[in-house]
Amino acid sequence: MGLGTDDAGAVTDPTPDLYDMAFVLFALAAAHRVLGDPRARPLALETLAAIDASMAAPHGGWNEALPARLPRRQNPHMHLLEAMLAWQATAPDPAFEAAARESLRLSRAHFQVDGALREFFTETWAPDPRTGHIVEPGHLEEWAWLLTQAEPLGLDTAEAAPALHRRAWDQGRRDGFLIREMDDQGRPVDAGWRLWAQTEGLRTCLLFDPDAAAALTERIFDVHLATETPGLWMDSYDADGRPADTAVPASTLYHLMTAFTALLETGR
């Protein structure tokens, strides 16, 4: 479970990292579904078993890295849930369901506080004393989407998704864009914005507010995708609307693909 490799595939950082492993599992689900690769499912089950064996945390969930670090973070658990839902939709297994249920349990019991979704926690899942007030509107939208995807698979998601979306949309926007960070009262902490949060907002608006989705799509094209080089994007802007990029992060492609796949599937 390596954090980084070089161009030849050699491991440059062997630190086990839950965020990275979640995306490995997500990619394996795609390899199984799209490519029909017979190696994908056994490898996914083996990977998940290794995560359970070596990274399970004493107070629930999994350590985000080894050795364990503080503060604890909800984000890797969210992406592990995403991977497990992808597997449950294409090749269900009790191990995938159990991991999905654990991430959902953490979300209900610890991540969602007073209608917001916190980011950083102590070892025992209390909000971190220094950073536990931080809320990322983009993650509110991402969780809202995932909760809707869990429901058809028979997983208990209650009715939190619309509330998370509304909290992000009502409190987490400035000048039409979802900002990077706000506090638990909806006050801006970092009023700049990144493209990935807009794509998550777009995807969730397709479920709850199609008119808002159409307006946000136009803004994404006008502000983030109107580049001199076709196929690239401007990822981030500061609080005054000035571009803040020195490079184009490849990780944003994942968010663009998931959002615009959902948009194309709606036929809008």
> Residues 190-202: what's their mean pLDDT?
98
Tokens encoding 266: 């709606």
The vertex-53 CA angle with 51 and 54, nearest 5°, equals 70
Give the C-alpha separation, 226 to 2, whole Å: 36
Q: What percent of the chain has pLDDT over 90?
A: 82
Please check whether residue 71 lies inside any domain of the structure. yes
Range of the domain at 83: 1-134
pLDDT band at 11 (very low <50, low <70, confident <90, very high): confident
pLDDT band at 2 (very low <50, low <70, confident <90, very high): very low
Q: According to the model, what pLDDT value does residue 96 have?
A: 97
Q: According to the model, what pLDDT value does residue 6 have?
A: 76
Does 74 score more than 90 pLDDT?
yes
Residues in the chain, overall count: 268
48, 85, 146, 148, 149 from 153: Cα distances, Å: 19, 8, 11, 10, 8
pLDDT in tens, 124-159: 999 999 999 999 999 999 999 999 999 887 776 767
Domain count, the chain: 1
Q: According to the model, what pLDDT value does residue 148 have?
A: 94
pLDDT in tens, 202-260: 999 999 999 999 999 999 999 999 998 888 899 999 999 999 888 888 889 999 999 99
CA 138 to mean position of chain CA atoms: 8
Please check whether residue 189 lies inside any domain of the structure. no
Average per-residue pLDDT in the chain? Answer: 93
Does 1 score more than 60 pLDDT?
no
Q: According to the model, what pLDDT value does residue 42 have?
A: 98
Please check whether residue 90 lies inside any domain of the structure. yes
Please check whether residue 228 lies inside any domain of the structure. no
Please check whether residue 9 lies inside any domain of the structure. yes
The CATH number of residue 29's host domain is: 1.50.10.20
* Nearest by Cα to 105 from 152, 138, 136, 62: 62
> Residues 1-19: what's their mean pLDDT?
78
β strands within the chain, DSSP E: 4-5, 11-13, 72-73, 112-113, 116-117, 120-121, 173-174, 177-178, 181-182, 188-190, 193-194, 236-237
Q: According to the model, what pLDDT value does residue 173 have?
A: 97
Hey, what's the torsion of the CAs at 123, 163, 97, 127, to 10 degrees? 0
Give the C-alpha separation, 190 to 188, whole Å: 6
